[in-house]
Amino acid sequence: MKAKIAEIFQSIQGEGPYVGAKQVFIRFFECNMHCAWCDTPRSIGDTQGGFQEYTSDELWRKIADLWSNCHSVSLTGGEPLIQADFIKTFLPRLKAAWITSYLETNGIFYQELDWLIDDIDIIAMDIKLPSSTKCRPFWEEHKEFLEIARRKEVFTKVVISNDTTREDVLRSVDLVAEIDPEITYILQPNYFDYDKGVVQKCLEYQKDCASRLKNVRIVPQMHKFLELR
């Protein structure tokens, strides 16, 4: 079995509560979404190129070369859970080596998560707001996903763009609050909208969110400011 991988590299985590943590990133190729603000368009599968195929042994050797003093291995994309069959066979290798696994996901493939979750350590779950992504809503899928993800360490993240509506933000807050109001909720300003007042928008939404959730943070994409991958 082989996985389609867009790139493998070492850097720091630029998003969410683990910002600054040193990680090995495995960027899986292909995604089921085409978010309007996608910052890794080469990984979503619009073209035939842009990936290499790796066996489990080949991927393990790449990680070993990059692992020195890292916090965790980030399984990112694209959308990694599209290749859940491969990940199912690979996660036990990380677990056996006491390497923390960090799944970055769009929070839609809940059946695949349920299949893998015993071997996953940290889940960074996006909630895809339709007014931001310009894609169809996934509220039911997100609810099912978060119910499963809460069995492990999980935080949620929403991208706030110039087009994001308060209605979508509040609906995502209700979704999280109904499951567990202590789950960390990240407002991430869209990097491409900084000159359109999106940071002020995040500050306003943070006040709304804090009335229902206990840990609401505004965290930009720090790797963009540091000019890192």
- The first and second tokens of residue 13, run together, are 């985590």
Structure pTM? 0.96
Please report, for the chain, the start and end positions of each structural domain, with discontinuous segments joined by +: 2-225
In the CATH scheme, what architecture does the domain 2-225 have? Alpha-Beta Barrel (3.20)
> Under a CB-based contact definition with an 8 Å cutoff, are residues 101 and 91 in contact?
yes
Per-residue pLDDT tens over the stretch 90-122: 999 999 999 999 999 999 999 999 999 999 999
Per-residue pLDDT tens over the stretch 21-69: 999 999 999 999 999 989 888 888 765 568 999 999 999 999 999 999 9
- The first and second tokens of residue 176, run together, are 């999280």
CA distance 78 to 64: 23
CA distance 133 to 33: 9
Quick one: which of 100, 188, 182, 189 has its CA closest to 146?
182
pLDDT, position 103: 98
